[in-house]
Structure 1
Amino acid sequence: MESLNSLGINCTADSVPHIALLGSGGGQRAAVGLVGSLYQMKKDGLLDTLLYLGGVSGSTWSMSSLYSDPQWSTNMNTAVSKLSGPGVELEQALGWLIERAKEEHFSLTDVWGALTSAAFMKQMDLRHLSDDAGQNATNPYPIYSAIENSFSDGPIEGKWFEMSPHESGFPEMGLFIETSLLGSKFQDGRLLEKKPEMDMVKLQGLCLQLQEVWRKVKIFFSRGLRRFWNPYKPASCFQLIDAGLFINVSYPSFLGDKRDIDLIIAPEFSAGNMFEALDYAAEVNKPFPKIDDKVLEERDWPKDCYVFEGKDKEPTIVYLPLFNRKNCKGLFHKHTLKERGTRIFWRIFLLYRFTAYIISSRIPLLL
């Protein structure tokens, strides 16, 4: 509230808007991009306005790194410096993998988690997600997202899976367990066997996996959930994979009544489908602002900023594609965005051009 008032936006404790920033997928580009966006928001006095920070795929790399510091939102310089740190010794990463190899469901996902943590985020973070439950309330509340893939013929409502410091589960079906029990065995809502909670290295591998890499997480929520898909052959575990393969921004966890979001700030660091959440929201009957057909025609060559104004229970969405006609004008043709956009030069050049222009000029005006 103090941050909003300092920006000239008068509000009381009862009228503070619920604002979420949702980082997209996009690998290392998304990890760096999210930190850059948050850094710029801090400089402009906007970071403290965020109630939630959500992420999928590449953005979860930087989220897990950020929250290793309980005071990160007041110390963004440290968060940025980690990205250029010395990294992790090979022996440390291999030691972690050797311990994971002793577990029942060791897979390539563990290898990917170790690689992500050691090579890209420069730390092997062994804390648990539930440890963040008591963190500084000035930090935005984190929501990590994945999708459930074993029931390929199941309903779309049962695909999205979210993990927060307090609970994890299927938001649209109202099925949750305590995050400290994530990985344990349940049946008919009853705890059968408590297993150690996964650490953040493993969670990074879970949220950001290659196309065919998946991890089995043993969770049974209720008999009703099994009947919802297949009453005769219930699977022994859920298969959680990269949510970016489904929707590359974590909209599903922030639509509807549960979090009552007023404003979503959605920086898009990928070069994929710009408006993929629209069809999803319509299919699950979630409130989502109307997007004009003329805007949808721009998905392959978008502008730098879109504001989709919400009505009634619809959140207003500020959509910020990194690869857009303003940033990329004169640099390369639109049809080569995806191929050339992954080069390190373009990542860094466009990232800071994007954050400096969009975050400092458009967001304050909207607020």
Structure 2
Amino acid sequence: MVGLLGSLVELNKAGLLDCILYLSGVSGSTWCMASLYQEPDWSTKLETVKDKIIKRLSGPGVSWGNAFAKLKKYYYGKDYFSLTDVWAAMFVTTYMKEIDEHTLTDKRYQLGKDPFPIYTVTDKQSKQKEGGDPWFEISPYEAGYSLTGAFVDTSSFGSQFENGSKKKQQPEMDMLYLQALCGSALAGEESKEFIWGKIQDFIKHLRPSKETIMFEEMKEDPNSPSVEKCYQVLLDLVDMNLCVLNDKDPSALDQSIRTNLNELAGGKSQLIFPTQKLNLADKEAAKLYMKQYTEDVCNYLSQFSLGRLDLFLSIFKCMALWIWGRNYNFLHRMTDENVPSGLLETEVRDYDDAGLLLNSPYISVLRKERNIDLIISLDFSEGDPFMTVREAAEMCKTLNISFPEVNIPTEDLEKPKDFYVFKGQNAPTVIHMPLFNVVNCGDEVEAWRNKYRTFQGPYSAEMITDLMEVAGKNIFNNREKLKEQIRAVVG
């Protein structure tokens, strides 16, 4: 997010921002885009907009109460709830320091002087299926599959369709949810321990007390079981999942859960647990055991009148099933031979961070209707700074999309420079600029990478300023080279 902001500021100073037709992003870059497009004609007043964004990012966060109120809004406001809703309300707000309830379609008529925004995610089921179309783009006008060319009006993305007809309108997603959808890098299963830990903090923070709304709602119900016991079961269930993820024996927690459930049921617990025994030596089997165990406990608790605790049970079920970005499929039961059959069959689709597949939005901008001449690839990836452009070239070869050949000098793999140009016959020119390189970081490329890891807390004001300066240097140092390449494609 910060890297893109710093780069755009320098592009503006170089007089190059107003010749950019599209601004497309994946993952954290979309967070920058969402902040920019809050302001109509942001590209004409970027210094002011930049200062406003940095002030917000360095300022106070969203309160727990407001974040939880937003989460409840998501939970009660639509048919499908997933970890993306949790990620949006409880986590993205801690980085973005705001709850942005604007929608993309609000911005349709404010795009006159700014590059056209394209947000990119991937279809999780298509990603796992050969011959699918995983690339899904969302703009102020349309949302859909970049390669297939199947789109729906953005205001209707997430609504229920059957054979091309809308059956049930769902609320249009807001910008907070869109940022969570695009920036859900934690949707990879290796993040489960981190997410469980955050949910544990979340439950402890919102555990009933006389001061909480949740407690007031529950104590009015004379038939409500012991709220304290329910919360203890959930906390034990979190700990049990964490134990299994870390190969530790969870038998004491298992016993505590059984005891509390039995007491909740007045000594008549009929909970049926997984029939197989937990085998920590077999990681896959242990994972399946905990999935079933978590579901069983949640299903059992759901029979009680638990008020707002139902929300927690839904979060736990989403954790067990690892559901991210679930929405109705607008292609459900359509018949169209040009659309991969897998996209037509299911009533729902799951969407996640495109960076988990390719950490750059090449496929969306390379739609043939866009007729792109020049791509400026600002690469903010961790690790190999050439992976995105190389993988894009390989994907395009497979998909018969024109793309230049990518050859990186061997000596640059460890010590990347700040400016690369790839050209090909009847293909767009690709300028590739790694964020950290030997020009702007000298011999400290690795130190800069370590300082700005993806999975860490929000950056301080000083870190934001330093990173913007480093990202800006890549543009500043290469202004004339950029102009030269733009002149070449115009010519």
TM class, shorter-length: 0.7 to 0.9
**How many matched pairs?**
332
Pick one of 218, 239, 245 that aligns with 2:356. 245
2:423–2:430 contact (8 Å) kept in structure 1: yes
Does the residue aligned with 2:345 lie in a helix, a strand or coil?
Answer: coil
The structural deviation recorded for 1:338 is 4.9
Please name the residue that 1:214 is paired with: 324
Query: TM-score, normalized by length of structure 2?
Result: 0.62
Listed one character per residue, the Cα deviations across residues 303-338 of structure 1 (whole Å, up to 9, x for unaligned) are: 2110112432x11111100122323332255xx775
Please name the residue that 2:180 is paired with: 205
Does the residue aligned with 2:101 lie in a helix, a strand or coil?
Answer: coil
1:117–1:125 contact (8 Å) kept in structure 2: no
Please name the residue that 1:147 is paired with: 122
The structural deviation recorded for 1:355 is 1.4
Q: How far apart, in 2, do the equivalents of 1:112 and 1:145 lie?
A: 18
The structural deviation recorded for 1:156 is 5.2
Please name the residue that 2:340 is paired with: 228
Q: How far apart, in 1, do the equivalents of 2:450 and 2:337 lie?
A: 41
Pick one of 340, 355, 358 that aligns with 2:475. 358
1:149–1:238 contact (8 Å) kept in structure 2: yes
1:83–1:122 contact (8 Å) kept in structure 2: no
Task: Supply the AA of the counterpart residue of 2:428.
Answer: P
Q: Provide closer, same or farther for how the CA distance between residues 226 and 208 of structure 1 changes in structure 2, counting only shifts above 3 A.
A: farther
Q: How far apart, in 2, do the equivalents of 1:230 and 1:256 lie?
A: 21
Using the TM superposition, name which of 38-47 and 211-220 deviates more: 211-220
2:148–2:338 contact (8 Å) kept in structure 1: no
The structural deviation recorded for 1:256 is 4.4
2:85–2:180 contact (8 Å) kept in structure 1: yes
The unaligned stretches of length 5 or more in structure 1 are 1-30
Please name the residue that 2:217 is paired with: none
1:66–1:72 contact (8 Å) kept in structure 2: yes
The structural deviation recorded for 1:117 is 4.6
Task: Supply the AA of the counterpart residue of 2:66.
Answer: Q
Matched, 1:100 2:74: yes
Pick one of 308, 328, 351 that aligns with 2:441. 328
Q: How far apart, in 1, do the equivalents of 2:401 and 2:410 lie?
A: 19
Please name the residue that 2:235 is paired with: none
Q: How far apart, in 2, do the equivalents of 1:238 and 1:298 lie?
A: 40
Q: How far apart, in 2, do the equivalents of 1:121 and 1:297 lie?
A: 38
Please name the residue that 2:10 is paired with: 40
Please name the residue that 1:4 is paired with: none
Does the residue aligned with 1:169 lie in a helix, a strand or coil?
Answer: strand
Task: Supply the AA of the counterpart residue of 1:353.
Answer: V
Matched, 1:286 2:259: no
1:271–1:337 contact (8 Å) kept in structure 2: no
The structural deviation recorded for 1:87 is 4.0
2:6–2:467 contact (8 Å) kept in structure 1: no
Listed one character per residue, the Cα deviations across residues 36-93 of structure 1 (whole Å, up to 9, x for unaligned) are: 1111111121111111100000001111111111121112123222222234431332
Name whichever structure is richer in helix by fraction. 2
Q: How far apart, in 1, do the equivalents of 2:373 and 2:404 lie?
A: 11
Q: Provide closer, same or farther for how the CA distance between residues 201 and 245 of structure 1 changes in structure 2, counting only shifts above 3 A.
A: same
Please name the residue that 2:54 is paired with: 83
Task: Supply the AA of the counterpart residue of 2:86.
Answer: V
Q: How far apart, in 1, do the equivalents of 2:353 and 2:410 lie?
A: 25
Q: How far apart, in 2, do the equivalents of 1:226 and 1:281 lie?
A: 19
Query: TM-score, normalized by length of structure 1?
Result: 0.82
Please name the residue that 2:416 is paired with: 302
Task: Supply the AA of the counterpart residue of 1:92.
Answer: N
The structural deviation recorded for 1:153 is 4.3
Task: Supply the AA of the counterpart residue of 1:83.
Answer: I
Q: Provide closer, same or farther for how the CA distance between residues 167 and 44 of structure 1 changes in structure 2, counting only shifts above 3 A.
A: same
1:146–1:243 contact (8 Å) kept in structure 2: yes
Please name the residue that 1:72 is paired with: 42
Larger-gyration structure (1/2): 2
Q: Output the aligned Cα RMSD.
A: 2.6
The structural deviation recorded for 1:152 is 4.5
Task: Supply the AA of the counterpart residue of 2:55.
Answer: S
Q: How far apart, in 1, do the equivalents of 2:29 and 2:176 lie?
A: 14
Q: Provide closer, same or farther for how the CA distance between residues 181 and 262 of structure 1 changes in structure 2, counting only shifts above 3 A.
A: same
The unaligned stretches of length 5 or more in structure 2 are 190-322, 487-491
Using the TM superposition, name which of 298-307 and 123-132 deviates more: 298-307
Listed one character per residue, the Cα deviations across residues 178-233 of structure 1 (whole Å, up to 9, x for unaligned) are: 101011111222212121111111111111111246110112323337983449x9
1:47–1:73 contact (8 Å) kept in structure 2: yes
1:327–1:350 contact (8 Å) kept in structure 2: no
Matched, 1:262 2:376: no
Q: Provide closer, same or farther for how the CA distance between residues 226 and 363 of structure 1 changes in structure 2, counting only shifts above 3 A.
A: closer
Q: How far apart, in 2, do the equivalents of 1:141 and 1:190 lie?
A: 28
Q: How far apart, in 1, do the equivalents of 2:71 and 2:393 lie?
A: 40
Q: Provide closer, same or farther for how the CA distance between residues 188 and 351 of structure 1 changes in structure 2, counting only shifts above 3 A.
A: same
The structural deviation recorded for 1:366 is 2.8
The structural deviation recorded for 1:351 is 4.0
Does the residue aligned with 1:173 lie in a helix, a strand or coil?
Answer: coil
Name whichever structure is richer in strand by fraction. 1
Q: How far apart, in 2, do the equivalents of 1:88 and 1:339 lie?
A: 25
Using the TM superposition, name which of 169-178 and 104-113 deviates more: 104-113
Q: Provide closer, same or farther for how the CA distance between residues 304 and 128 of structure 1 changes in structure 2, counting only shifts above 3 A.
A: same
Pick one of 106, 110, 116 that aligns with 1:131. 106
The structural deviation recorded for 1:116 is 5.4
Q: Provide closer, same or farther for how the CA distance between residues 75 and 92 of structure 1 changes in structure 2, counting only shifts above 3 A.
A: farther
The structural deviation recorded for 1:277 is 1.2
1:150–1:238 contact (8 Å) kept in structure 2: yes
Q: How far apart, in 2, do the equivalents of 1:71 and 1:277 lie?
A: 31
2:142–2:154 contact (8 Å) kept in structure 1: yes
Q: How far apart, in 2, do the equivalents of 1:97 and 1:366 lie?
A: 47
Q: Provide closer, same or farther for how the CA distance between residues 339 and 262 of structure 1 changes in structure 2, counting only shifts above 3 A.
A: same
Q: How far apart, in 2, do the equivalents of 1:255 and 1:152 lie?
A: 19
